[in-house]
């Protein structure tokens, strides 16, 4: 609940800063950050809501700061364009988050195929033998399995 309030405050602060700075200074990066944060922490659906809030806040700030649109159509086109841009941010964050989750799952599954000797640190890739971490890959947690030399089976 606290994070939801902080995220709402992030949008509020961004709109406030946009109102204070006027038309000459853009705060678009802050709208992008706010949209990306809510999308990352929640879902694409919440990201859509964040994109709406960002686009509406930006347009509202312009109108309050004195920008005059000659037609409501022009204002709606700008609003729609902004919403589309922020929607792309939300979509990009969602795709990245899903890709990251898929890679983490692949790494988790690799732990069943790659084991680490807790004594010497060499790695075993299935039945291909034991390798140093630099030879195979670095990082990650692996199931514990002793290599033949450390377990005493490979010693003569």
Domain boundary assignment for the chain: 2-108, 111-151
Per-residue pLDDT of the chain (156 residues; tens, 9 = 90+): 778 888 889 899 999 999 999 888 889 999 999 999 999 999 999 999 999 999 999 999 999 988 888 999 999 999 999 999 999 999 999 999 999 999 988 877 766 666 767 777 676 665 556 666 555 554 554 445 666 777 766 544
The label of the residue with tokens 């680490």 reads 116
- 124 near 114, Cβ under 8 Å? yes
CB atoms within 10 A of CB 90: 25
User: Cβ contacts of residue 80 below 8 Å, gap of 6+?
Assistant: 55
130 vs 20: CA distance, rounded Å:
63
Classified as helix, coil or strand, 150 is helix
Classified as helix, coil or strand, 113 is coil
DSSP β-bridge partners for residue 123: 116, 131
Model confidence, pTM: 0.68
């Amino acid at each position: 609940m606290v994070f939801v309030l902080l995220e709402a405050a992030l949008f509020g602060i961004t709109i406030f800063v946009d109102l204070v700075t006027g038309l000459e200074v853009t705060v678009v990066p802050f709208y992008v950050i706010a949209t990306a944060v809510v999308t990352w922490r929640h879902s694409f659906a919440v990201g859509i809501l964040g994109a709406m809030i960002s686009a509406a806040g930006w347009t509202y700030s312009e109108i309050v700061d004195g920008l005059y649109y000659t037609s409501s159509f022009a204002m709606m086109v700008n609003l729609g364009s902004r919403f589309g841009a922020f929607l792309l941010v939300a979509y990009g964050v969602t795709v990245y988050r899903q890709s990251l989750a898929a890679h983490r799952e692949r790494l988790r599954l690799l732990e069943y195929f790659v084991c680490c000797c807790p004594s010497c640190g060499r790695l075993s890739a299935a039945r291909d033998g034991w390798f140093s971490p630099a030879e195979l890959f670095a990082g990650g947690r692996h199931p514990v399995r002793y290599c033949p030399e450390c377990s005493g089976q490979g010693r003569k």
